[in-house]
Amino acid sequence: MRGVETVLFLVVVATVVATFAKRLSVPAPSLLVVAGVLVGLLPGVPTIEVTPEIISLVVLPPLLFAAGEELPMRDLRAAWKPVAGLSLGLVLVSAAAVGGVALALTSMPVGMAFVLGAILASTDPVAVTALARRLPLPARVQTVVQAESLFNDATSLLLFRVALSLVVAAGSASWGSTVGEFVVLAGGGVLVGLATALGAYFIRRRTEDPMLETVISLVTPYAGYVLAEAIHASGVTAVVVASVGLGAQAGKLSTSRIRLQVGAVYRTVVFLLESVVFGLIGLELPGLVRRLSGELGWPLQALALGATLIVVRLLWVFPLSAALHRGEGDERPSWRLPVVVSWAGARGVVPLAAALSLPLTVADGSALPARDLVLLLTTAVIVLTLVVQGFTLGPLVTWSGIAVHPDEIREEKSSARGELAKAALARLEHIAETESAPLFLIEQLRSSWQARLDRFVASTGDDPDGMADSVSYRRLRRDLLAVESAELARLFARGAITDSVRRQIQRELDLETTGLGDD
């Protein structure tokens, strides 16, 4: 099966899987991995070998960028303490634990055991975001698990590079070189990410062509990633920083029509790339198993490594949650949030990219020991976490009682729309007092927005008297929608609504603004 045929096949399979996943209320990434494994086991299916360039350069940047844009800066500032504890401490402990278990259960050398530990130490932003996006998680929990997965890569990447240098070059790592490498990786990634965000912001603020805006949005994550890797910094960190920074300024970057178009294109790109990458993970596993047919104990080893990651995460998250609650004056922290955060630790694309980047040889030209075994166990643990945690995270959220009920979202949304309507009516009153628009237009719009306030729902497309053909009417209506957008931003900034509700309402306002056409 050639490369293009494989991609097209995975897209077709993903479309079918996504349809059934929605009907069955199960996460599509987990179902895609299962489908990939099943297809890979069929007789006659050729072995799939994924190159590191496909994952790290083609697939990873836009998926990371999309995940970072979904992370609101306001929520990130509020959750920085648990995110820091998980992104730094938990990664170090997980790497040591996985390395120790791998050393005890496998035949790989000490160095490669801890290379495997560094690869599997961090949760994956693509997998975690893909799973969390489909679950009714509270805003704080979603922020913690997504931010952790986005910001723990610098730590795990540093551990990976240090451990790999010990194996490949048989060198020794000093505290000075380790700290220096971390500064270059993390600090360089942050600087490149900020520069990328500023450059993209400067260009997009001066672009009004929807096609150009879409192209710039698609190119931005690749530019940040390539620039960071060129100076040996963390491309992952650069993309994450750029996406979070640009996401915080999304409302100022473009018009309603451009936001709708860019959003539609990006959702399509994310769906296609997620379909390909999760399907490839599943397809690759049977080939790796056939290549290492002599390693009969790998299933138990993979189970042990996966169980180690889960146990270590549980033992870290619960004490961290208790300590943070004591610091806030809460003497009896709930178990509900920590148990969900503990279980939301899926591995995915980033660990796979790290494993695929392992060199074939060491400094003296001999083969890198246990490379295929590391790749097999990494892929097996990824599949294990995506299937086990992916399929059970939703029921766990429901059982724990923290799931956000649809009625709560509807109530929050209706309340927010009511506040927006009040702001628009106040603007109308100001226009009426200054007599800057015809009175009959003001009365038409006042009636429409009063109906919004009475019903607490959006009223798009209502134009009973045919006034939408009036240029003045459209300008006034567009002005009121702009006021509602500004009020929506204020509600979000002061914490009155969640990011999910803000995005839903903003899309409705964008659709209504676009429907008014151009003057």
User: What DSSP line would sit under 478-503, residue for residue?
Assistant: HHHHHHHHHHHHHHHHTTSS-HHHHH
pLDDT bin (cut points 50, 70, 90) of residue 464 is very low
- What is the CB neighbour count within 10 angstroms for residue 296? 8
Distance CA 273, CA 136 (A): 24
Other Cβ atoms less than 10 A from the Cβ of 450: the count is 14
pLDDT of the residue at 330: 57
CA distances in angstroms from 44 to 5, 48, 146, 279, 360, listed in the order given: 15, 12, 39, 18, 28
Whole-number pLDDT of residue 469:
45
Nearest to 388 by CA among 317, 316, 305, 275: 305
Cα 416 from Cα 491, distance rounded (Å) = 8
Give me the amino acid identity at 190.
V
Could you tell me where the DSSP H helices lie in 106-138?
110-120, 125-132
Could you give the dihedral angle defined by the CA atoms of residues 111, 117, 122 and 126, in that order, rounded to the nearest 10 degrees? 90
Question: Is the per-residue pLDDT at 463 higher than 60?
Answer: no
Provide CATH 1.20.1530.20 ranges for the chain: 3-400
CA-nearest of 346, 334, 337 to 392 is 346
User: Is the Cβ–Cβ distance between 275 and 233 less than 8 Å?
Assistant: no
In this structure, of 64-73, 93-102, 401-410, 503-512, the range with the lowest mean pLDDT score is 401-410
Query: pTM higher than 0.75 for the full model?
Result: yes
What pLDDT does residue 191 have?
Answer: 94
**What's 332's DSSP letter?**
S
Average pLDDT over residues 357-378: 85
- What is d(CA 85, CA 121) in angstroms, rounded to the nearest whole number? 14
Architecture of domain 3-400: Up-down Bundle (1.20)
> Do 289 and 47 touch, CB atoms closer than 8 A?
no
- Cα gap 74→84, rounded to integer Å: 16
For the chain, what is the mean pLDDT? 82
The better pLDDT of the pair 295, 85 is held by: 85
Among 190-194, 285-289, 332-336, 385-389, the range scoring the smallest mean pLDDT is: 332-336
Residue 292 identity (one-letter amino acid): L
Q: What is the pLDDT of residues 31-53, one digit of tens each?
A: 888 888 888 888 777 777 777 77
Can you say how many angstroms the Cα of residue 295 is from the centroid of all Cα atoms in its chain? 35
For residues 119 and 374, give the distance between their C-alpha atoms in angstroms, rounded to a whole number: 9
Closest to 150 in 3D by CA, of 78, 222, 217, 243: 243
Distance CA 403, CA 384 (A): 24
Listing DSSP states for 389-411 in one string gives: HHHHHHHHHHHHT-PPPHHHHHH
Q: Averaging pLDDT over each range in 143-147, 243-247, 335-339, 375-379, which range is the top one?
A: 375-379
Confidence at residue 282, expressed as pLDDT on a 0 to 100 scale: 85
pLDDT of residue 466 exceeding 70:
no
